[in-house]
Structure 1
């Protein structure tokens, strides 16, 4: 008897019909894992035990019990709900359920929603064959290398919103490799340097005291040069949820690569997540972020969030020529009330304000929203952020000094 079968028997699922239920729970866990949720052996065992505490004929309580033990992060809730509705209609009808999810997504949006796409791929994915070592004389055909290269190139330009679970995982690995060498700026601090251009009078007098007051040599100093602070204000509303999920990996990598990086998330309220993103392990960092961010995938109040930042955080984090990344699509539920004034104040408080908007990925984009029109005159750069290529272009842009307002696709 396998470990899962033993656990099912101990949990009371091994009776009449219980074996099939335990097998279905195991299959449901495999579906969630293929769709990108971190569901392992422990979560499946916990799900079996949870079902012994609720009536199985109550669909609502069954759903709540499984969700409580199999979902760890807020952004996985919607995908779990879709998987639950899809799988527990008929666990055996894989292809029909996948096609149904795709058709439902096409009716609503004209294209499959990202969650349904990943679930459809997870449902239709064949089980991997047993591992066996390849024959010694078998050689990899050269066409496979070309296909791998072209697939990697395609991943660079692919929209984050259309990526599958496997492509998202590969994109996260690529994001962690990005390096952000911001252009260095002179600070008010000096350090001793024998070849420095400036005489350090205080150090010279201090050295002369060791020689009885005789000035035998002049001490010199040089101004300290370091990258400016980087401040990121990231929108986590419903329309930005998929992009914010991947951009958090970018912010986590930058935070752990350099000093003076400050990250804020906003939807209906503003949350400082700088301390949480400093944790080296990304999964632990994002788990900590999910505990303190209550408005993920909710509404958007850009003007109110910027006002709160300007009032409470600007003086703390925008010193020494800070660069600000404003990541939002500009769609504010409050319209444009106070948005122009707060964006202008933010622009005056920093050296460079870069607005990253995924809507720029569309050809022929026009700033018709009131929020976009209110913010656009007060930014230095207006760039898209929807793919790995756009992130690399952003890194290259931030690494060089630039003046004036620019529009970049």
Structure 2
């Protein structure tokens, strides 16, 4: 299909629309599909996303650090200290495993079938980027574009306006396999080396019939700590993996989760923050 003009966030809705529900979304707003929201509700949803608590859960690394109550004995430091004390008594220097916030990499489909979801999800990734220091975001339709630097602007409207003019393939077709291949070739080694969590946001509808998706998704999965597929099509109870792209992706991901309303984003935020279980969890605060 023909590529449509880049979105202009400032023209989505009039500025004078009130935001009474922005910080305390009702149950209706929480569960309403992004695709079915009115312009007023879209604004309210974006404001609610800004209030999500996005404190990423620390993960263990391979490195250790001095810790008087640590479970491990630091033999090297113990021997150095024993030399200074003459070995009597022999002080045991302890250490524990160092933790750090995980690297998050988001790959977001901005093709035509994802239009109603990608424009709101970019607000989520903006909030995530400004809440943590190891978040990298890419968008793709027919090509892959790194928008991480643009999302670091704390003014969300300015950030998205700049993204709108920088990205050239809004709301056209989707080349999932080629986009994953581009990431694997040019970005995987530098971003995934320390066990990143990858969020792949797509409905799996691929204009190339799924060509190359399975091989590239498998390569991506082997390079990261966890590959989570966020799919708005899971909003349908009768969802079935019929499209070639969906069939190719499913065996290669660790989790397959819905992402179509505020509740699904809140559950994702809970999972990333360690407040929820695998694949589900308590709802994050939206107000």
TM-score (norm 2): 0.83
Compared CA separation, residues 359 and 220, structure 1 to 2 (3 A): same
Query: Contact 1:229/1:323 (CA < 8 Å) preserved in 2?
Result: yes
TM-aligned CA deviation for residue 294 of structure 1: 1.2
Could you tell me which residue of structure 2 aligns to residue 323 of structure 1? Answer: 197
Residue aligned with 2:7, SS: helix
For residues 134 and 96 of structure 2, what CA distance do their matches in structure 1 show?
A: 22
Residue aligned with 1:375, SS: helix
Could you tell me which residue of structure 2 aligns to residue 164 of structure 1? Answer: 38
Query: Contact 2:25/2:44 (CA < 8 Å) preserved in 1?
Result: no
Could you tell me which residue of structure 2 aligns to residue 370 of structure 1? Answer: 244
Compared CA separation, residues 231 and 189, structure 1 to 2 (3 A): same
Residue aligned with 2:96, SS: strand
Q: Does 1:154 align with 2:154?
A: no
TM-aligned CA deviation for residue 225 of structure 1: 1.7
Compared CA separation, residues 329 and 201, structure 1 to 2 (3 A): same
TM-aligned CA deviation for residue 212 of structure 1: 7.5
Query: Contact 1:205/1:215 (CA < 8 Å) preserved in 2?
Result: no
1:383 equivalent among 243, 250, 257: 257
Q: Does 1:76 align with 2:8?
A: yes
TM-aligned CA deviation for residue 328 of structure 1: 0.5
Q: Does 1:240 align with 2:114?
A: yes
For residues 181 and 213 of structure 1, what CA distance do their matches in structure 2 show?
A: 46
Residue aligned with 2:26, SS: helix
Q: Does 1:341 align with 2:273?
A: no
For 1:54-203, what aligned pairs fall within 5 Å after superposition?
Answer: 74-76=6-8, 152-203=26-77
CA RMSD of aligned residues (A): 3.2
TM-aligned CA deviation for residue 182 of structure 1: 4.2
For residues 192 and 219 of structure 2, what CA distance do their matches in structure 1 show?
A: 12
Query: Contact 2:8/2:164 (CA < 8 Å) preserved in 1?
Result: no
Larger deviation: 320-329 or 215-224? 215-224
Could you tell me which residue of structure 2 aligns to residue 229 of structure 1? Answer: 103
Give the number of the structure whose residues are more often strand, by fraction.
2
TM-score (norm 1): 0.60
The Cα offsets for residues 197-223 of structure 1, whole Å up to 9 and x where unpaired, read as 2233443455567x4866763332211
For residues 105 and 157 of structure 2, what CA distance do their matches in structure 1 show?
A: 22
Q: How many residues align structurally?
A: 272
Query: Contact 2:61/2:97 (CA < 8 Å) preserved in 1?
Result: yes
The Cα offsets for residues 60-101 of structure 1, whole Å up to 9 and x where unpaired, read as xxxxxxxxxxxxx93139x97xxxxxxxxxxxxxxxxxxxxx
For residues 267 and 188 of structure 1, what CA distance do their matches in structure 2 show?
A: 36
Larger CA Rg, structure 1 vs 2: 1
Compared CA separation, residues 275 and 213, structure 1 to 2 (3 A): farther
Could you tell me which residue of structure 2 aligns to residue 253 of structure 1? Answer: 127
For residues 309 and 337 of structure 1, what CA distance do their matches in structure 2 show?
A: 16
Could you tell me which residue of structure 2 aligns to residue 356 of structure 1? Answer: 230
1:309 equivalent among 183, 189, 193: 183
Residue aligned with 1:75, SS: coil
The Cα offsets for residues 346-404 of structure 1, whole Å up to 9 and x where unpaired, read as 122222211111111123112211111111111121111110011112223343564xx
For 1:11-50, what aligned pairs fall within 5 Å after superposition?
Answer: none
Give the number of the structure whose residues are more often helix, by fraction.
1
Q: Does 1:279 align with 2:153?
A: yes
Structure 1 residue runs of 5 or longer lacking an equivalent are: 1-72, 81-114, 129-144
Residue aligned with 1:257, SS: coil
Compared CA separation, residues 187 and 152, structure 1 to 2 (3 A): same
Could you tell me which residue of structure 1 aligns to residue 269 of structure 2? Answer: 395
Structure 2 residue runs of 5 or longer lacking an equivalent are: 282-287
